[in-house]
């Protein structure tokens, strides 16, 4: 920066340096773990997508949303983990300005879609338990498809605004991003010109794509609990609540770590390495676990798996004969 002419007031670097995971002992084992996470994520979500596609009984509005979540989870992990492994395991920590903005968009966009899809699944459970007689009227495939299209537009609008405002920032102090990808928060704080609009859009993004969805989910479960209290039979209550188990685990896994990191960051000073490891785990573990949760904890999916197994055995027996 000392070689820059005095009249240069706006600096757009050709490259950024992603500095996450620096000075962490034995960090290469973590990258090996991420490779395992990525493989399981791709296989697990591909399996869920295959089961839903193949089994006619799963061609319902709820499983349209589950299929969408599997697609988003797989795409989100593909946008994040391979680049992380390339960056840190193979020491390709420099990234071009344009590639950095693309990385920022896709990681934040797909993460936002995960959050909003979980809200749609909460809406499905809310209607199923609170309005069971009207469920098939309210929850339709066409309706869910329109809602999914709506969340794509919403997430794209917010994240494009966030990336667009990043292009007006001048980086004359440093090009080292203190994160494991081109994260908007650390990047806008690096700038040496007015970054208040970026701060505003970041807070709006957190509110619209994280806080509001979590609030809607919690509100839906308050209504579900109140509706269950009106049911006289304990067995019926447990049966109804069991249909929410998979979704509740999914909510806890996705929102609790992210919320804890945001709250901790505002209340105390977190070591950068702890923040980076925590946020990277909260971004990579839920997409790996979601298909496992929906396979093991959901009777409909397990029935579909058993049906496919029986069908395959029948086909093999015919071929052998």
CB 7 within 8 A of CB 255: no
Cα–Cα distance measured from residue 60 to residue 304, given in angstroms and rounded to the nearest whole number: 13
How many Å apart are CA 261 and CA 280, to the nearest integer? 11
Average of pLDDT values for 155-173?
95
Nearest alpha-carbon partner for 262 in 285, 288, 286, 282: 282
Question: Are 150 and 116 spatial neighbours (Cβ–Cβ below 8 Å)?
Answer: no
- Please tell me the predicted confidence (pLDDT) of residue 238: 85
DSSP E strand stretches across 98-199: 176-177
pLDDT greater than 60 at residue 2: no
pLDDT digits (tens, 9 = 90+) for 185-214: 999 999 999 999 999 999 999 999 999 999
Rounded to whole angstroms, the Cα distance separating 113 from 107 reads 10
**Of 72, 70, 60, nearest to 128 (Cα)?**
60
What are the domain boundaries of the chain?
A: 15-309
- 155 pLDDT higher than 60: yes
Instruction: Report the relative pairing of strands 15-18 and 94-96 from DSSP bridges.
Output: antiparallel
> What local confidence, expressed as pLDDT, does residue 17 receive?
96
pLDDT band at 219; cut points 50, 70, 90: very high
Over residues 71-126, the pLDDT tens digits come to 999 999 999 999 998 888 888 899 999 999 999 999 999 999 999 999 999 999 99
Distance CA 286, CA 294 (A): 12
**Order of strands across the sheet that contains 176-177:** 94-96, 15-18, 176-177
For the CA atoms of 305, 254, 60, 296, the dihedral, rounded to the nearest 10 degrees, stands at: 20
Class of domain 15-309: mainly alpha
Residue 17 phi/psi, 5° resolution? Answer: -115, 115
CA distance 309 to 314: 9
pLDDT digit string, tens, across residues 277-302: 888 999 999 999 999 888 777 888 88
74 CB contacts (<8 Å, ≥6 apart)? Answer: 41, 42, 45, 46, 49, 287
What region does 17 belong to: left with phi over 0, alpha with psi -120 to 50, or beta? beta
pLDDT given for residue 192 in this prediction: 92
Q: Give the range among 28-32, 137-141, 149-153, 308-312 with minimum mean pLDDT.
A: 308-312
């Amino acid at each position: 920066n000392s070689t820059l002419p005095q009249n240069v007031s706006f600096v757009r670097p050709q490259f950024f340096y992603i500095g996450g995971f620096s000075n962490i002992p034995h960090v290469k084992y973590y990258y090996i773990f991420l490779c395992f996470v990525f493989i399981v994520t791709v296989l697990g979500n591909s399996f869920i997508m295959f089961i839903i596609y193949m089994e006619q009984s799963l061609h319902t509005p709820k499983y349209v949303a589950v299929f969408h979540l599997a697609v988003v989870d797989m795409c989100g992990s593909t946008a994040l983990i391979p680049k992380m492994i390339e960056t840190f395991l193979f020491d390709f920590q420099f990234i071009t300005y344009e590639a950095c903005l693309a990385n920022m968009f896709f990681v934040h966009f797909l993460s936002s879609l995960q959050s909003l899809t979980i809200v749609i699944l909460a809406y499905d459970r809310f209607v199923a338990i609170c309005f069971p007689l009207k469920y098939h009227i309210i929850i339709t495939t066409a309706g869910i498809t329109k809602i999914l299209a709506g969340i794509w537009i919403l997430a794209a609008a917010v994240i494009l605004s966030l990336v667009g405002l990043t292009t007006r920032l001048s980086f004359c102090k440093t090009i080292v991003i203190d994160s494991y990808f081109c994260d908007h928060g650390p990047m806008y704080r690096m700038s040496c010109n007015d970054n208040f609009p970026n701060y505003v859009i970041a807070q709006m993004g957190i509110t619209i794509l994280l806080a509001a969805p979590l609030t809607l989910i919690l509100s839906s479960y308050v209504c579900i609990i109140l509706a269950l209290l009106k049911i006289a039979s304990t067995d019926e209550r447990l049966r109804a609540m069991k249909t929410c188990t998979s979704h509740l685990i999914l909510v806890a896994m996705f929102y609790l770590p992210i919320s804890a990191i945001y709250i901790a960051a505002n209340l105390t000073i977190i070591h950068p390495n702890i923040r980076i490891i925590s946020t990277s785990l909260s971004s990579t573990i839920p997409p790996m676990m979601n298909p496992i949760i929906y396979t093991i904890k959901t009777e409909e999916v397990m029935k579909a798996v058993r049906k496919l197994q029986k069908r395959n055995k029948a086909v093999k027996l015919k071929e052998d004969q």
